[in-house]
């Protein structure tokens, strides 16, 4: 057992301790984020510890998904990943020490005995709590039971003095006190000698010299028991900071089974989220800045984050199923869109490049001869985008001639007037004469044609938008045409005649 020295206590050591029994969940990622922020803010150490002692439910796939999710989010750890199973012997040693020193005892009660005790409590309508009947067995009785071949578990002997209280100051919830008489003598070692999670978790925190345990409020139920373990082992407990839970808008727990992939981090990656936008959103699920500001760069958030501003109310993840537009919490989408639209092009480009590459839309010239064109293009089209995937879907027409036409846009804008089959080629001819293809000159050609044909400019503008982009929405059309370039615009305007004639 490692005991803490004064110098160790000065440097912050925090950990994220996921159980690898599924995916990386939004709530888990937020726990990791808060720990990471606290480590980075205090110049401390962020440890990743995989709590894999539930052998039946832990999987390698889950470990990989957790690591990948953390890497993607940019939550880099300084130590680990440690695996809890590697320390099982140390957890047993701790249980032995507690047994030797009289803080724990062997309990020989069989499952039937306990079931009977439970039934009796139920019939009296009182909450069942193991009555501690094995606590006072003499060493001789214990020995005799062992010789008889009776199996036993090891239970922690909770102090039973009349007014004993387990108390701690939670960095979020403040002073928490629990009467020792309300705490059962809990099992720390099973009959097969495997340690219980509550013991392993506390012993690992001591071994890893954790100074702050920042975890979900669902851990609060364990904390008094773990403090008893620390006290009995003569180790100073870490500081606890329990974070309020994140619930759905009906105040139910978030789970993949009920809510689907929207609660998993990998989904946001696939749907085109920027990792920092997601972190920024997650940071606000349970924490707020003193002045109510919400958008922070990585360094700003590290600077301003403080455990004392984690609030005590559960936060709401506002997801409503069945709304394709708001496929996750609208605030998360708003955050991502804001980042997509306002971050520096330098920071945005690698994400766009990756997205285009994955969709066979990338060309190396976007980094050399066509770099300026490429940057101007993404800067223009991003003004209406929400996610990175928009660059390869909605923005496809900028990088390929093979793009889809939205049928609604075709009906609305191209079928609106049969004369468009003549106007658009005429427009193309006009545009083709321009020596400089800039928005102002382009607009001039549009206005002239509209006047000549005695139609509203909007008719030709809307039709052209659909002809060149397949859509009815987008950034300023004249800027867009200038970006697409004369050759492509002329070609697409002429090709649209076929579409109009098919109406
Ligand atoms: N393995 C636990 C979990 O995933 C961690 C609890 C803790 O942080 O102490 O819930």
pLDDT value for 402:
97
Ligand 1 centre to CA of 108 (Å) is 29
Q: Which of 52, 51, 45 is nearest to 13 (CA)?
A: 45
Ligand 1 close to Cβ of residue 215 (< 6 A):
yes
CA atoms within 13 A on the CB side of 130: 23
pLDDT digits (tens, 9 = 90+) for 72-99: 999 999 999 999 999 999 999 999 999 9
Judge whether residue 489 has pLDDT over 50: yes
Does 375 share its domain with 445? Answer: no
Q: Where are the alpha helices (DSSP H) in 359-395?
A: 371-381
Tokens 């980075």 — which residue? 40
Does 414 share its domain with 496? Answer: yes
Does 395 share its domain with 411? Answer: no
Ligand 1 close to Cβ of residue 464 (< 6 A):
no
Cis peptide, bond prior to residue 81, ω within 30 of zero: yes
Judge whether residue 166 has pLDDT over 50: yes
Q: Which residue, of 399, 427, 462, is where some domain finishes?
A: 399
Q: How far apart are CA 237 and CA 111, in angstroms?
A: 33
DSSP string, 408-455: HHIIIIISS-TTHHHHHHHHHHHHHT-SS--HHHHHHHHHHHHHHHTS
Ligand 1 close to Cβ of residue 18 (< 6 A):
yes
Kind plus residue range of the DSSP H or E element containing 234: none
pLDDT value for 246:
94
CA-derived radius of gyration, the chain: 32
Judge whether residue 6 has pLDDT over 50: no
Q: Which atom of ligand 1 is nearest to the CA of 31?
A: 8
The catalytic residues are: 256
Q: How far apart are CA 63 and CA 31, in angstroms?
A: 16
Tokens 């064109």 — which residue? 373
Does 433 share its domain with 497? Answer: yes
Q: What is the pLDDT averaged over residues 8-25? A: 89
Cβ atoms 394, 385 nearer than 8 A: yes
pLDDT value for 191:
96
Q: What is the pLDDT averaged over residues 165-184? A: 96
Ligand 1 close to Cβ of residue 217 (< 6 A):
no
Q: Which residue, of 380, 399, 418, is where some domain finishes?
A: 399
pLDDT digits (tens, 9 = 90+) for 368-418: 999 999 999 999 999 999 999 999 999 999 999 999 999 999 999 999 999
Ligand 1 close to Cβ of residue 200 (< 6 A):
no
Q: How far apart are CA 90 and CA 203, in angstroms?
A: 8
Does 383 share its domain with 461? Answer: no
Residue 89's SS3 state is: helix
Q: What CATH number does the domain containing 460 carry? A: 1.10.10.350
Tokens 């455990």 — which residue? 307
Judge whether residue 1 has pLDDT over 70: no
Asked, for residue 420, whether it belongs to a domain, the answer is: yes
Does 462 share its domain with 482? Answer: yes
Ligand 1 centre to CA of 251 (Å) is 21
Ligand 1 close to Cβ of residue 19 (< 6 A):
yes
Q: How far apart are CA 451 and CA 254, in angstroms?
A: 59
pLDDT value for 163:
86
CB atoms within 10 A of CB 139: 7
Judge whether residue 502 has pLDDT over 90: no
Ligand 1 centre to CA of 186 (Å) is 18
| pLDDT band with cut points at 50, 70 and 90 for residue 103 | very high
Tokens 């005995």 — which residue? 113
Ligand 1 centre to CA of 400 (Å) is 48
Asked, for residue 78, whether it belongs to a domain, the answer is: no
Ligand 1 close to Cβ of residue 201 (< 6 A):
yes
- Average pLDDT of the residues of the chain: 95
Ligand 1 centre to CA of 324 (Å) is 33
Does 412 share its domain with 495? Answer: yes
Q: Which atom of ligand 1 is nearest to the CA of 15?
A: 8
Find the domain containing 471 and state its range. 407-501
Asked, for residue 45, whether it belongs to a domain, the answer is: no
Ligand 1 centre to CA of 266 (Å) is 20
CB atoms within 10 A of CB 464: 28
Does 494 share its domain with 415? Answer: yes
| pLDDT band with cut points at 50, 70 and 90 for residue 10 | low
pLDDT digits (tens, 9 = 90+) for 302-312: 999 999 999 99
Asked, for residue 456, whether it belongs to a domain, the answer is: yes
Does 381 share its domain with 438? Answer: no
Asked, for residue 428, whether it belongs to a domain, the answer is: yes
Q: How far apart are CA 30 and CA 8, in angstroms?
A: 26
Q: Which of 13, 14, 15, 17 to mutate to test the pocket of ligand 1 (most atoms within 8 A of CB)?
A: 17
Q: What is the pLDDT averaged over residues 120-140? A: 93
Tokens 């309300």 — which residue? 182
Ligand 1 close to Cβ of residue 469 (< 6 A):
no
Cα–Cα separations (whole angstroms), residue 269 to 65, 67, 239, 325, 351: 12, 14, 33, 17, 11
Number of domains in the chain: 2
Could you tell me how far CA 61 lies from the centroid of its own chain? 18
Does 428 share its domain with 492? Answer: yes
Please return the burial class of 498, using the count of CB atoms within 10 Å of its CB with bins 0-12, 13-18 and 19+.
Answer: exposed
Cβ atoms 336, 328 nearer than 8 A: no
Q: What is the pLDDT averaged over residues 290-300? A: 97
Tokens 């925190």 — which residue? 205
Asked, for residue 159, whether it belongs to a domain, the answer is: no
Residue 169's SS3 state is: strand
Q: Which of 215, 217, 224 to mutate to test the pocket of ligand 1 (most atoms within 8 A of CB)?
A: 215
Q: What is the pLDDT averaged over residues 147-159? A: 97
Q: Which residues are bridge partners to 253 per DSSP?
A: 247
Asked, for residue 386, whether it belongs to a domain, the answer is: yes
Does 352 share its domain with 384? Answer: yes
Q: What are phi and psi of 241, to 5 degrees?
A: -135, 105
Asked, for residue 389, whether it belongs to a domain, the answer is: yes
Return the percent helix, strand and coil in the chain, to nearest 5.
Answer: 50, 10, 35
Q: How far apart are CA 70 and CA 77, in angstroms?
A: 9
Q: What is the pLDDT averaged over residues 210-219? A: 97
Does 363 share its domain with 429? Answer: no
pLDDT digits (tens, 9 = 90+) for 322-339: 888 899 999 999 999 999
pLDDT value for 2:
43
Cα–Cα separations (whole angstroms), residue 188 to 104, 202, 371: 9, 11, 63
């Amino acid at each position: 057992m490692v005991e803490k020295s004064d110098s160790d206590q000065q440097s912050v050591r925090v950990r994220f301790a996921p159980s690898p029994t599924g995916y990386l969940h939004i709530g888990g990622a937020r726990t990791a984020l808060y720990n990471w922020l606290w480590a980075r803010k205090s110049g401390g150490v962020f440890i990743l510890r995989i709590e894999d002692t539930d052998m039946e439910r832990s999987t390698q796939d889950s470990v990989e998904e957790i690591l990948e999710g953390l890497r993607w989010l940019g939550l880099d750890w300084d130590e680990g990943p440690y695996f809890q199973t590697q320390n099982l012997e140390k957890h047993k040693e701790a249980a032995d020490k507690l047994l030797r020193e009289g803080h724990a005892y062997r309990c020989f009660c069989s499952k039937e005995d306990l079931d009977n005790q439970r039934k009796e409590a139920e019939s009296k309508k009182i909450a069942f709590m193991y009555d501690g009947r094995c606590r006072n067995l003499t060493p001789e009785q214990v020995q005799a039971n062992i010789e008889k071949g009776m199996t036993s578990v090891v239970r922690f002997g909770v102090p039973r003095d009349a007014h004993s209280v387990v108390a701690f100051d939670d960095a979020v919830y403040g002073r928490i006190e629990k009467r020792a008489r309300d705490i059962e003598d809990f099992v720390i070692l099973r009959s097969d000698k495997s340690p219980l999670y509550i013991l392993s978790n506390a012993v690992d925190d001591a071994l890893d010299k954790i100074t702050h345990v920042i975890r979900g409020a669902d851990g609060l139920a364990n904390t008094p028991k773990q403090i008893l373990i620390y006290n009995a082992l003569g180790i100073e407990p870490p500081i606890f900071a329990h974070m309020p839970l994140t619930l759905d808008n009906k105040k139910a727990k978030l789970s993949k089974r009920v809510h689907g992939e929207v609660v998993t981090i990998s989904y946001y990656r696939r749907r085109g989220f920027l990792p920092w936008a997601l972190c920024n959103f997650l940071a606000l699920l349970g924490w707020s800045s003193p002045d109510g500001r919400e958008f922070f760069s990585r360094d700003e958030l590290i600077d301003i984050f403080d455990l004392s501003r984690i609030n005590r109310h559960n936060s709401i993840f506002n997801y409503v199923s069945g709304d394709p537009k708001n496929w996750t919490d609208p605030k998360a989408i708003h955050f991502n869109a804001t980042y997509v639209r306002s971050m520096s092009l330098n920071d945005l480009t690698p994400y766009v490049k990756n997205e285009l590459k994955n969709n066979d839309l990338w060309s190396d010239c976007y980094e050399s001869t066509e770099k300026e064109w490429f940057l101007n293009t993404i800067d223009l089209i991003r003004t209406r985008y929400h996610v990175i995937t928009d660059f390869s879907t909605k923005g496809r027409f900028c990088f390929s001639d093979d793009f889809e036409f939205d049928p609604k846009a075709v009906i609305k804008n191209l079928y609106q007037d049969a004369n468009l089959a003549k106007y658009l080629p005429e427009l193309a001819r006009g545009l083709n004469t321009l020596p400089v293809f800039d928005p102002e000159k382009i607009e001039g050609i549009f206005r002239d044609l509209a006047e000549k044909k005695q139609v509203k400019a909007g008719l030709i503008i809307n039709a052209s938008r659909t002809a060149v982009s397949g859509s009815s929405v987008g950034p300023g059309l004249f800027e867009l045409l200038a970006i697409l370039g004369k050759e492509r615009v002329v070609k697409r305007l002429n090709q649209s005649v076929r579409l109009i004639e098919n109406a």
